[in-house]
């Protein structure tokens, strides 16, 4: 795309998401919860926004950062591991920053970790000096090794990183770890986290200079509202005024509650938005502290 095309003023917002893979469905669900709906093209690569002028591009996740840099799309939902690999790569080659993380989205969690054969002892990063480390994330690994003041050989592989030590290609690996089952199956163990990853909303470093700025602000407000209430519940209960301090101590994750006096001045009715799990055990603890008539309600939408 030419610079003129990438800088063109648009009155619609374009968001790139993974076409298929572990981030695809959660990303669509998040955007749908924020009130977006689309009409999908026949080739299933483009979704035209119907409820708002916000369109979707369905692409490979590895392509999302470059699509933002080129102006083909405005925002993208991508793994932090993919985004940071591109950021570190651009920095290493002297290119200016073109995109950044706007929001962490709370799904698709994993770790970029160094792993070594199970039988070996781990005494710290200095142990990697002079070793061969296989990875598909050379830029982030190089940045981390530099920070640790370790000189090692980076072996770049496009796949099957975990079998590199068994094939004699490497002494250790640096790869994404979720459950650890793949490492265990290849007699490896994770010994050092390089980066904690999850799905993020990525966007340009420079703000939009047209109507897309308003659309992006609207989208962020809605997404923040969705993320804020993902595990939230509205708790209603009554308690005696002198029991209030003990009850509130059990609600450290709650917004400042709304309260009013009932039955004179001795009993208070409260409602509190709680952001943690409201388990049966927690309700029992609240009851023992003096709360009664406890009622837990789901929160469908919230806009600050």
More confident: 57 or 262 = 57
Superfamily of domain 3-108+199-228, CATH level 4: Periplasmic binding protein-like II (3.40.190.10)
DSSP string, 247-272: HHHT-TTBPPPEEEEETTTTEEEEEE
Please state the pTM of the whole predicted model.
0.78
Cα 100 to Cα 262: distance, rounded to the nearest angstrom: 51
What pLDDT is stored for residue 244 in this prediction?
Answer: 93
What pLDDT is stored for residue 3 in this prediction?
Answer: 42
Is the pLDDT reported for residue 126 higher than 80? Answer: yes
User: What digits encode the pLDDT tens for the residues 56-99?
Assistant: 999 999 999 999 999 999 999 999 999 999 999 999 999 988 99
One fold for both 3-108+199-228 and 233-298?
Answer: no
Superfamily of domain 110-197, CATH level 4: Periplasmic binding protein-like II (3.40.190.10)
The upper half-sphere exposure of residue 49, i.e. CA atoms within 13 Å in the direction of its Cβ, equals 21
Q: Which helix (H) or strand (E) holds 85?
A: helix 80-92
Domain ranges of the chain: 3-108+199-228, 110-197, 233-298
Closest CA to 131 of 158, 157, 169, 166: 169
**What is the CATH T-level fold of the domain 233-298, as seen in this structure?**
Alpha-Beta Plaits (3.30.70)
Which residue bears the tokens 């483009």?
46
User: What digits encode the pLDDT tens for the residues 15-43?
Assistant: 999 998 899 999 999 999 999 999 988 88
């Amino acid at each position: 795309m030419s610079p003129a095309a990438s800088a063109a003023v648009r009155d619609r917002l374009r968001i790139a998401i993974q076409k298929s893979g572990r981030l695809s469905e959660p990303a669509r669900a998040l955007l749908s919860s924020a009130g977006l709906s689309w009409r999908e093209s026949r080739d299933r690569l483009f979704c035209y926004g119907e409820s708002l002028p916000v369109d979707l591009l369905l692409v490979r996740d590895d392509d999302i950062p470059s699509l933002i840099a080129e102006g083909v799309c405005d925002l993208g939902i991508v793994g932090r591991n993919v985004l940071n690999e591109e950021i570190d790569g651009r920095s290493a080659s002297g290119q200016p920053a073109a995109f950044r993380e706007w929001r962490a989205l709370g799904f698709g969690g994993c770790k970029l970790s160094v792993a070594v054969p199970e039988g070996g002892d781990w005494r710290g990063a200095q142990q990697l000096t002079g070793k061969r480390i296989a990875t598909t994330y050379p830029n982030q690994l190089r940045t981390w090794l530099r920070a640790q003041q370790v000189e090692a050989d980076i072996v770049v592989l496009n796949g099957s990183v975990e079998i590199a030590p068994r094939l004699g290609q490497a002494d250790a690996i640096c790869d994404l770890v979720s459950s650890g089952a793949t490492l265990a199956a290849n007699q490896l163990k994770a010994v050092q986290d390089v980066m904690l990853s999850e799905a993020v909303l990525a966007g340009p470093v420079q703000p939009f200079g047209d109507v897309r700025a308003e659309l992006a602000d609207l989208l962020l407000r809605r997404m923040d509202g969705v993320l804020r209430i993902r595990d939230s519940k509205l708790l209603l209960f009554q308690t005696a005024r002198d029991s209030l301090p003990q009850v509130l101590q059990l609600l450290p994750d709650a917004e400042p509650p709304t309260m009013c006096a009932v039955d004179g001045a001795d009993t208070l009715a409260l409602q509190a938005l709680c952001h943690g799990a409201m388990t049966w055990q927690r309700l029992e603890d609240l009851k023992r502290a003096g709360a009664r008539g406890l009622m837990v309600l789901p929160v469908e939408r919230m806009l600050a």
